[in-house]
Amino acid sequence: MASAVVSFHGQHLSGLLGSRDRAMESLKSEASTWAGAAPFGWHSLRSSGGLRMEWINCQASRGAALRMNTERSGSGSLLGVRCSASGSSTARPASQPRFIQHKQEAFWFYRFLSVVYDHIINPGHWTEDMREDALEPADLNDPNLTVVDVGGGTGFTTLGIVKTVDAKNVTILDQSPHQLAKAKEKEPLKECKIIEGDAEDLPFPTDYADRYVSAGSIEYWPDPQRGIKEAYRVIKPGGKACLIGPVHPTHWLSRFFADVWMLFPTEEEYIEWFTKAGFSDVKIKRIGPSWYRGVRRHGLIMGCSVTGVKTQAGDSPLEMGPKAEDTKAPSNPLVFAYRFLIGTIASMYYVLVPVYMWLKDLVTPKGQPI
């Protein structure tokens, strides 16, 4: 049995606190996101005190059972939803191609994307507000903390970290020298250590850092469980990992493009990976641009911030075989070109989604779901 606290940002809460029907629809859609895929059957749906729902059980499609309990303050306002999931493994079928979820493809993807990354990704998918919201559970509250930012790229997330942590205690690691070149140009990051490396095989000693942060990188790791196991290894006992990543879309068209492009994990998968790696107190906080109004059916490239605490010194208790992929290993150029091209075309869909949602937010009256 794995469990997590899911907190919603204000936009979403106001959606839930409307009429009973709307609240039910919102919670059904949230539960569907949790279940990962339709169809799922409702076990029960109850309300108490007129408009309020107290709990929902549903059966997820892959055999996992799910329970959502609403948490309310004394005055009745909704504080959050506690979810617990249990059941079978959430391993994905191999049939989903995810053409850029490979190290060489990701390397070349960022060879080109690094040129415009800060200009097109951040305004649409990863704003400063979202970054503050996502880093809040990492407890970066002491300038003396040792922090590693894995898949740190151009340093956008690191700029949030160095607001409270001394830059000389922060290391940015990425497999793309092109992304890191952009980070090196940023004045507040001048004192950070900036190194090339692989998230699945970190060049840090065991029990090294107080905090592990990784934002928007897991979607490219061929073996995300291995990356999270590495996060566990490099943190000191009592330290915390904070992994910010995408969430899987439930809308069929968005799911199609997401699955062709890269890995959009379900929330259950994040919890399972963290729990298996050995983390305690695993929590998920939902994030998103304000103009999405909490909508998650199209997925989000930055959709949640997952945290876990390491309680025991040493390596992760999880045993794994050798690493599957290496950036430097030779590959078949035709297979590479095919994967790279189709994956890149699919990624374009997610340039259009924020524009669509932003326009929808403009035309839909405030307070109504979009």
Ligand X SMILES: C[S@@+](CC[C@H](N)C(=O)[O-])C[C@H]1O[C@@H](n2cnc3c(N)ncnc32)[C@H](O)[C@@H]1O
Binding residues for ligand X (CB under 6 A)? 103, 106, 110, 126, 151-154, 156-157, 174-176, 179, 198-200, 215-217, 220-221
Q: Where are the beta strands (DSSP E) in 73-139?
A: 78-86
State the amino acid at position 14 in one-letter form.
S
Give whichever of 157 and 307 is closer to ligand X, judged by the CB atom.
157
CB 13 → ligand X: shortest distance, Å?
26
Nearer to ligand X, 26 or 175 (CB): 175
CA distance 275 to 200: 17
Q: How far is the CB of 209 from ligand X (least distance, A)?
A: 16
Toward ligand X, which CB reaches closer, 175 or 275?
175
Q: Shortest Cβ distance from residue 327 to ligand X (Å)?
A: 8
Structure-block tokens of residue 7: 């907190």
Three-class SS of 161-203: HCCCCCHHHEEEEECCHHHHHHHHCCHHHCCCEEEECECCECC
Give the span between the Cα atoms of 173 and 150, in whole angstroms: 5
Complex with ligand X: residue 305 or 316, whichever CB lies closer: 305
The least CB distance from residue 248 to ligand X, in Å, is: 17
- Indicate the pairing of strand 193-196 with strand 65-72: unpaired
Cis peptide bond prior to 39, omega within 30° of 0:
yes
Closest approach, Cβ 173 to ligand X, in A, equals 6
The encoded tokens of residue 266 equal 């379900």
Our CB check for ligand X shows the closer of 78 and 277 to be 277
Compare residues 40 and 257 and give the one whose CB is closer to ligand X.
257
- Mutual angle of helices 177-184 and 103-125, in 10-degree steps: 40
Query: Which of 185, 251, 222 shows the shortest CA–CA distance to 327?
Result: 222
In whole angstroms, how close is the CB of 241 to ligand X at the nearest point?
Answer: 14
Residue nearest to ligand X (CB): 153
Question: Which of 34, 232 has the CB closer to ligand X?
Answer: 232
Asked whether 36 and 61 are in contact (CB, 8 A), the reply is yes
Nearest CB to ligand X, comparing residues 40 and 108 = 108
Q: Where are the beta strands (DSSP E) in 260-367?
A: 280-286, 300-309
- State the Cα–Cα distance between residues 45 and 56, nearest whole angstrom: 5
**DSSP 3-state assignment of 2?**
strand
- Cα torsion 152, 132, 81, 252: sign: negative
| Residue 218 beta carbon to ligand X: minimum distance, rounded to whole angstroms | 8
For residue 343, the minimal CB distance to ligand X (Å) is: 13
Is the Cβ–Cβ distance between 139 and 235 less than 8 Å?
A: no
